[in-house]
Amino acid sequence: MGTISLKNISKSFGPTQVLNNLNVDINDGEFLTLVGPSGCGKSTLLRIIAGLEQQTSGDVLIDNKNVNKVRASKRDLAMVFQSYALYPHLTVRRNLETPLRLRDYNAFERLPLIGNFSPSKKEKTESINQLVNKTSETLKISELLDRKPGQLSGGQRQRVALGRAMVREPVAFLMDEPLSNLDAALRVHMRSELSELHNSLKTTFVYVTHDQAEALTMSSRMAVMIDGNLLQLDTPQEVYDNPSSLSVAQFVGSPKINIFKGTADSGGTVSFLNVNLKRKSSESNTDLHIGIRPEHLEITNESNENTFSGTVAYRENLGSDIFFHVNIEDGSNKIIVRGLPQFTHQISNGSSVNIKRVSDKALLFNQAGMRVQFTNA
């Protein structure tokens, strides 16, 4: 099986604390994404799971066994690296065989030439060949087996790297930004392939990325890490709809969530600019950050107490959607509003527009950046 538990993991390099008392339980068969801006410690955490890095304190448990003292090579995990890290001097076939040879052959059988005299080697070689062929068929790389990594394209190397990880049927796959070296189209394509692969293998995946889109699209749960802290660990939908803090809300979602300066009056009623949300927050008499996602705002012709106005600074046309970067009138904010092309095609840069909220959705955060709940619906 493949459960991984991290208990109170901390890591520091000299005086710099990179990971701060992290607790994560990864279920068997789960696709867990570690996501965060670069430098947040997500790769370090993955390397600690792999055994390539030693944690300063805390425990790593794989299948409920403490593996703190177990070396990377003995943890039965497979890893896919950002640069693929294929052996440049070996053919694709030998690259795929390498982990199997190391696992199946004993020390004598690995010796050059005289190793061939071992009676059991032939049988093992056959089973290795079968596994390699099976894996290369799954990944559609059979015709590449006799080439060297240098003769492959980025996408092909990516597949070979996946194959080298798969062939051993490990307890879990660890992936360190495996798609970030691919071009945009291929990256989107590989996302769906990886998801399919995960569905068919039913093995635990731990996936590190700085791209929140990858995390949202592929994972069963995602762990948002910022500055060495685990801020939220939940399903992608929950993280998107219900972020636990301002940083998570700002990190997840593209384009970024709009943050307005607002206040809660003595009764807890929340308002920003000239708009009254007509809802009460659990904290009263304080300044708040109000987060509204671009798709929850709309450009309108109306002008009333529910709308506010601004000037379009930049019009970003994505075909299916148009995003308007709007400077709000009082100069306090620059926000992003989603518009549907059929309604907003005549709006150009420099136009004055009114903006209203399309739904009740808004997220409140206090001055410390922590989430504040509404008290009424």
Partner 1 sequence: MEAKQYIGEGWKHAILIIGAIVVMLPFYMMVSMSLKSQQEIQSISGGLIGAQETQTFPVCVKTGYSEETCTMKPYQYNYWFAFEKAPIPRYLMNGVIVTLSIFIIQVLVALPCAYALAKLRFYGREFVFSMVLFCLLIPVHGIALPLYVMLAQAGLVDTYSALILPWTISVFGIFLMRQFFMTVPDELIDAARMDGMGEYAIVWKVMLPTAIPALLAFAIFSVVAHWNDYFWPRMVITGNRDLFTPPLGIREFRGGIDSDEFGPMMASIVTVTVPLIVAFIIAQKRFIEGITLTGMK
Compute the least distance from the CB of residue 357 to partner 1, in Å. 47
Nearer residue to partner 1 within complex by CB, 169 or 238: 169
Query: Residues in the site for partner 1, rule: CB under 8 A?
Result: 47, 50-52, 71-74, 77-79, 81-83, 85-90, 98-99, 102-103, 164, 168
Query: What does DSSP assign to residue 256?
Result: P
Compute the least distance from the CB of residue 277 to partner 1, in Å. 50
Compute the least distance from the CB of residue 232 to partner 1, in Å. 29
Nearer residue to partner 1 within complex by CB, 98 or 333: 98
Nearer residue to partner 1 within complex by CB, 78 or 249: 78
Nearer residue to partner 1 within complex by CB, 79 or 335: 79
Compute the least distance from the CB of residue 178 to partner 1, in Å. 11
Compute the least distance from the CB of residue 27 to partner 1, in Å. 22
User: Residue 291 and residue 249: Cα distance in Å, rounded?
Assistant: 8
User: Residue 151 and residue 202: Cα distance in Å, rounded?
Assistant: 32
Is the Cβ–Cβ distance between 55 and 228 less than 8 Å? no
Q: 175 forms bridges with which residues in the sheet?
A: 80, 207
Show the CA angle centred on residue 116, arms to residues 111 and 122, nearest 5°. Answer: 125
Nearer residue to partner 1 within complex by CB, 22 or 86: 86
Compute the least distance from the CB of residue 72 to partner 1, in Å. 5
User: Residue 266 and residue 42: Cα distance in Å, rounded?
Assistant: 41
Nearer residue to partner 1 within complex by CB, 75 or 338: 75
Compute the least distance from the CB of residue 102 to partner 1, in Å. 4
Compute the least distance from the CB of residue 6 to partner 1, in Å. 18
What percent of the residues of the chain are helix, what percent strand, and what percent coil, each to the nearest 5?
A: 30, 35, 35
Nearer residue to partner 1 within complex by CB, 98 or 263: 98
- For residue 264, CA distances in Å to 243, 261, 328, 374 come to 20, 11, 21, 11
Nearer residue to partner 1 within complex by CB, 102 or 370: 102
Compute the least distance from the CB of residue 349 to partner 1, in Å. 45
- Strand 31-35 to 57-62 pairing: unpaired
User: Residue 138 and residue 163: Cα distance in Å, rounded?
Assistant: 9
User: Residue 42 and residue 48: Cα distance in Å, rounded?
Assistant: 10
Is the Cβ–Cβ distance between 133 and 144 less than 8 Å? no
Nearer residue to partner 1 within complex by CB, 75 or 293: 75
My answer on whether omega of the bond before 178 falls inside 30° of 0, hence cis, is: no
Compute the least distance from the CB of residue 84 to partner 1, in Å. 8
Residues whose CB falls within 8 Å of the CB of residue 351, separated by 6 or more in sequence, listed in order: 311, 312
Nearer residue to partner 1 within complex by CB, 82 or 286: 82
Is the Cβ–Cβ distance between 6 and 58 less than 8 Å? yes
What is the per-residue DSSP string for 11-72?
EEETTEEEEEEEEEEE-TT-EEEEE-STTSSHHHHHHHHHTSS--SEEEEEETTEE-TTS-G
